[in-house]
Amino acid sequence: MDLSLSKSQLMIRKNMRKFASEVLDEWAGVLDRDSTPLPADVVREMGRLNIWGIQAPAEIGGAGLDTVSYSIVIEEISRVSAAVGLGVTVHNSVCLAPLLAFGTPEQIARYGPDLATGKKIGGFTVTEPQAGSDASSIQTRAVPDGDHYVLNGQKAFVTNGGVGDLFLVAASVDPAKKSKGIAIFIVEKSMEGFEVGKIEDMMGMRGNMVSELFFSNVIIPRENVLGRPEDGFRISMKTLDIGRIGIASQALGIGTAAYEAAATYAMERKQFDRPIGTFQAVSFMLADMKTHLDASRLLIYRAADLKDRGMPYSTESAMCKLYASSTAMQVCMQALQIFGGYGYVKDLPVERFFRDAKITEIYEGTSEVMKIIIGNDIIREFNRF
Amino acid sequence: MLSIIVCIKQVPDTQKAVFDPKTGAIDRKSTDNIMNPDDLHALEMALSIRDRYGARVTAITMGPPQADDVLSEAYALGADECVLVSDPRFAGSDSLITTRVLSRAILRLGAFDLVITGCEAIDGNTAHVGYQLSEFLSMPLITQIHEFMIDGNHAIIERLYGHEYQKIRVSLPLLLSMGKNSNRVRIPRLVDIKECGEKPISLMTLNDIGGEPGEYGAAGSPTVVIKTEIFSHTRGRAVLEGGIEEKVDAIVHMLKKQNILRF
């Protein structure tokens, strides 16, 4: 069993770390402070580097990387700016990936190249004000009418909402069928009746323009249904399996940043004539942080590897997301504790890591939903009566 | 179209390396092998000239078979062709013999307009090879380049050193040596990183470059390393007492004593 990264994966880590430190680092604090999106030239440069099409095939302008490499890219970007990591992972894994997996050749030809090169930024939206973990209860309706559907409704907490050009939108075609009546539509910002609502003023991830979306009588051509209309819920669930590897990697990036900052500081900061990191109270904290982060990384790579080998990975994906997100939260809390008062002020990025980490336990399925997925798997295996 | 040859070297990452305090040798297991940092700037120079004027960029390295890793990296960054010069009989070559090997290999690659090297490697820090190549290939070496332009079969170069700069016009072919402040090295595209390992690397051995085995390797090398020592700089702390005049006098005295202030 070989757990080491390949030469190409190591080169990806080195170069993404370089990109994050040379380009994103100067923006990370600004995006958070001003709640503003990345400048267009940085978005373009990320397009040149294939960051908007990490796993998309080279023919449409992507890099065609494996899922472990994908995780490395998200971790390294999130290690510097979790908000940028969020935009990248959502665009790649829950917009572009399902388009490529379930889209028709025409849909892929039409939307794939612009998404893979970052000329268009994408998002994916199920959540509504009244429909969170219970995704089957969505109210957004799409009524068939001749060669098109008419879309009406509202979406909430849409990642990339304020900057996105194209969204995969879950809407009910037949409310009587509940989850079986949900279809996924490819909706463009330019369509009449599409409106971006309020940009959320958030605790963390402030560099992502998370927003409301409103649809009023938006005419959606039938050819913009992703996959078969009755497959919407299944597509959503599969999409979230992929997405969770990305969010887990993002959590890992945040946790790693907090851990490295804390370890560095603990060896510089002297109290009682010695670095505080040499006191057992602090070194034990650092030991826990390092161990949990490493465990997260291995869980993520295992889920990613299963996906690449075409094996079922839904439970493993839920496990890595559950563990990596709670680790990120725990590690950030300990890092802040090690920084003491300096961790609580905005001059240093530790408090940002702390605020950014929390959401990883909430979005792309809460920790409780992850436990439902894992629990159901256990029930299937052991409940024989 | 211009033909540019870039000399690169695989070196241990000496920033991370652990040194044996007795022998001064690097513990090879303590660190990764990387492309020599100055050589990245040399490659970037070649690629930026190609972007502006069109060129074919060939990266060449002399080293053991695993040195092909830095050639793959050169492919990821955009090199058009990569050549590994490798032969067990080259083992133990000093900087002079390394230059002999490189110059003979370069002359067998066909006509060229520019050869670009890094200023120095972080393992030996001799900075010999660039200067020696200029002798072996009988062409001028230009260092400390600030601006570079091609004008027909000439190059117009601004050199920046200290507080002055010099603008020169020099005919091709030409040898350039690049230091770490000369440019900003591009980041390769992910797709190029993915594909770089699959691109073909040409191999040249002693048989390809010619010469007798005795001219190469440890046998041919005049340099003898007698001893390697580790230098360490430690920061000290000094507290100056007294009035401002006395403190300034004390600082000036200290700086003069350290030979930092000379008059």
Q: Is residue A1 part of a domain?
A: no
Share the mean pLDDT of chain A: 96
Q: Is residue B120 part of a domain?
A: yes
Residue of A nearest to B186 (CA): A19
Q: B69: which chain A residues are within 8 Å (Cβ-Cβ)?
A: 7
User: Do A72 and A138 belong to one domain?
Assistant: no
User: Do A365 and A268 belong to one domain?
Assistant: yes
* Cis? peptide before B173, omega within 30° of 0: yes
User: Do A48 and A20 belong to one domain?
Assistant: yes
Of B184, B182, B179, B146, nearest in space to B164 by CA: B146
Q: Is residue B263 part of a domain?
A: no
Q: Is residue A69 part of a domain?
A: yes
Alpha carbons A136 and A138: distance in angstroms, whole number: 6
Do A259 and A327 touch, CB atoms closer than 8 A? no
Alpha carbons A75 and A253: distance in angstroms, whole number: 4
Give chain B's length. 263
Residue of B nearest to A73 (CA): B190
Q: Is residue A37 part of a domain?
A: yes
Kind and range of the H or E run holding B39: helix B37-53
Alpha carbons A84 and A37: distance in angstroms, whole number: 9
Residue of A nearest to B187 (CA): A15
Alpha carbons A330 and A283: distance in angstroms, whole number: 15
Domain that holds residue A53: 7-121
Looking at residue B98, which CATH number applies to its domain?
A: 3.40.50.620
Alpha helices in chain A (DSSP H): 7-19, 25-34, 40-48, 67-80, 82-89, 97-102, 105-116, 232-268, 280-308, 314-339, 341-344, 350-358, 367-382
DSSP lists the bridge partners of residue B149 as B156
Helix (H, G, I), strand (E, B) or coil at A141: strand
CA-based nearest distance A99→chain B, Å: 20
Which residues of A lie inside 8 Å of B (Cβ-Cβ)?
7-8, 11-12, 15, 18-19, 22, 48-51, 54, 58, 62-65, 69, 73
Alpha carbons A297 and B251: distance in angstroms, whole number: 52
Catalytic residue numbers of A, as ranges: 364
Kind and range of the H or E run holding A341: helix A341-344
For the stretch A109-139, pLDDT in tens is: 999 999 999 999 999 999 999 998 888 899 9
The region of weakest confidence among A3-7, A173-177, B41-45, B163-167 is B163-167
Which residue, A73, A97, A121, sits at the end of a domain?
A121
Rounded (10°) CA dihedral B44, B50, B51, B53: 140
Q: How many domains, chain A?
A: 3
Of A229, A241, A124, A127, nearest in space to A182 by CA: A229
User: Do A223 and A299 belong to one domain?
Assistant: no
DSSP lists the bridge partners of residue B148 as B157
Contacts of A14 (CB under 8 A, 6+ apart): none
Inspect the interface and report whether the beta carbons of A18 and B187 lie closer than 8 Å.
Answer: yes
What SS3 string covers A298-339? Answer: HHHHHHHHHHHCCCCCHHHHHHHHHHHHHHHHHHHHHHHHHH
DSSP lists the bridge partners of residue B7 as B60, B117
What SS3 string covers B201-213? Answer: EEEECHHHHCCCH
User: Do A21 and A113 belong to one domain?
Assistant: yes
Q: What is the pLDDT of residue A136?
A: 86
Looking at residue A95, which CATH number applies to its domain?
A: 1.10.540.10
Q: What is the pLDDT of residue B225?
A: 83
Do B114 and B229 touch, CB atoms closer than 8 A? no
Q: What is the model's pTM?
A: 0.91
Q: In what order do the strands lie in the sheet with B145-151?
A: B145-151, B154-161, B164-171
User: Do A197 and A307 belong to one domain?
Assistant: no
Q: What is the mean pLDDT of residues A235-243?
A: 91
Helix (H, G, I), strand (E, B) or coil at A279: coil
Q: Is residue B64 part of a domain?
A: yes
User: Do A336 and A253 belong to one domain?
Assistant: yes
CA-based nearest distance A20→chain B, Å: 11
Sequential DSSP letters for B122-153: TTT----HHHHHHHHTT--EE-SEEEEEEETT
Q: What is the mean pLDDT of residues A70-75?
A: 98
Q: What is the pLDDT of residue B36?
A: 96
Asked whether the predicted pLDDT for residue B243 surpasses 80, the reply is yes
pLDDT class of B263 with cuts at 50, 70, 90:
low
Q: How many domains, chain B?
A: 1
Do B142 and B42 touch, CB atoms closer than 8 A? no
The number of helices, as runs of H, and strands, as runs of E, in chain B is: 8, 12
For the stretch A319-346, pLDDT in tens is: 999 999 999 999 999 999 999 999 999 9
Q: Is residue B262 part of a domain?
A: no
Contacts of B238 (CB under 8 A, 6+ apart): B254
Inspect the interface and report whether the beta carbons of A8 and B193 lie closer than 8 Å.
Answer: yes
Q: Is residue B248 part of a domain?
A: no
User: Do A91 and A133 belong to one domain?
Assistant: no
Q: Is residue B237 part of a domain?
A: no
Alpha carbons B110 and B76: distance in angstroms, whole number: 24
Residue written as token pair 């429909």? A131
Alpha carbons A122 and A99: distance in angstroms, whole number: 10
User: Do A245 and A183 belong to one domain?
Assistant: no
Share the mean pLDDT of chain B: 92
Domain that holds residue B139: 2-220
For the stretch A155-166, pLDDT in tens is: 999 999 999 999
pLDDT class of B228 with cuts at 50, 70, 90:
confident
Beta B201-204 vs A122-125: how paired, if at all?
unpaired
Asked whether the predicted pLDDT for residue B22 surpasses 80, the reply is no
User: Which B-chain residues 146-185 have CB contacts (< 8 A) with chain A?
Assistant: 184
Kind and range of the H or E run holding A99: helix A97-102
CA-based nearest distance B205→chain A, Å: 25
Q: Is residue B47 part of a domain?
A: yes
